[in-house]
Amino acid sequence: MSSLLILALSVCALPFSAAAGPAIFIFGDSTVDVGTNNYINSTFQVNHRPYGIDFPGRIPTGRYSNGFNSADAIVKKLGFMKSPPPFLAIANKSVHTNLQIVRGVNFASGGSGLLYATGFGRGVVPLSEQIQQFRAVRANLNKLLGAAKTESFLKISIVFISTGSNDIFQEFFLTGNATNPEYITSLKCAFEDHLKALYSLGARKFAIASIPALGCCPIIRAANEAGACSDDLNNAALSFYSAIEPMLQSLSSELPEMKYSLGNTYKMITSFFLNPGPSGLSELQSACCGGGKFNAQLECNQTAAVCANRDKYLFWDQYHPTQAASALAAETLYNGTAEFVTPINFKQLVEAC
């Protein structure tokens, strides 16, 4: 059977929309993990109720959400029904792998970060290992399509990255000072190295979500006597964005054909706080699922209280957004203006030649 026929059959067999866009390869942490940690011995596990309460079939999938997450919300913009499957779900299924990888793969692992040390000992898949998994996918593509077609295929594919939050949280909880300039620089350098590694494997289009306003997560508010956000965490998120924006500009000038779109998710979230009306979200401080102060002093588990009006909440649990908030963020990243996405939005990145 020819490679082109295999590819055609693969596309027809996939559980995605017929409106086929480019493939998408997803890297990062729990904001975009769609079940990676279900396949490893990780202490970061959410494959239980009430996670997934609004997912089709009302089943937990390993997504840190009441339903679809940010990975799903972004790929829906490309015409897919949901995120491609986790790499570990298809890694040992050679036939099924060929049916999947022509539409993309999700490598993200909850608890991971830019640094190998982030989440170390907690059974996560660090970003460096996620990239090695992508190397294996590229090898399979070479067998399926041939080297030349694989190169062309990856040039138009999208690499979506959402990471860095866990690095900031870990430094904050360890030292109490997440804004240390040397630490921010180390994250920027690690990010640059990871991007270069992905580029060397054929990636050319990078859609990047920066770090949101971590200091306003319900668990952080709950730890503050006044219920306020943490300036240190928020300033660290801002510092990270300020570090990677010029890095990306420089890197795109250095690497031929590299294109990128950088989403300022910090500014996006704070815009909800300043003017919540247009977002449709009315509860911006408390978690939907949990218990105690800000519904964040107890974890979201089978015995936790769960809000009824989940589409009105920004936060699902102590750290993560609701399905509704993820959809809002995806819309802004995909179609937003230069206020929130630079130098082009995700849609323009997809369409770029």
Sign of CA dihedral 191, 197, 198, 203: positive
CB 288 within 8 A of CB 36: no
User: What is the arithmetic mean of pLDDT over 262-271?
Assistant: 97
Quick check: is 56 in a domain?
Answer: yes
Would you say residue 16 has pLDDT above 90?
Answer: no
Contact status, residue 165 vs residue 31, Cβ threshold 8 Å? yes
Contact indicator for 25, 159 with CB cutoff of 8 Å: yes
Domain that holds residue 58: 3-217+231-278+317-351
Number of compact structural domains in the chain: 1
Instruction: Assess if residue 210 is contained within a domain.
Output: yes
- The candidate with the shortest Cα–Cα distance to 113, out of 176, 186, 14, is 186
Span 118-124, average pLDDT: 94
Residue 225, in any domain of the structure: no
The answer to whether the beta carbons of residues 102 and 57 sit under 8 Å apart is no
Model-level pTM? 0.93
Q: What is the pLDDT of residues 194-219, one digit of tens each?
A: 999 999 999 999 999 999 999 999 99
Residues annotated catalytic, as ranges: 30, 317, 320
Q: Is residue 293 part of a domain?
A: no
Average per-residue pLDDT for the chain: 92
Residue 294 in domain: no
CATH of the domain at 46: 3.40.50.1110
- The pLDDT score that the predictor gives to residue 2 is 30
pLDDT tens per residue, range 283-327: 999 999 999 999 999 999 999 999 999 999 999 999 999 999 999
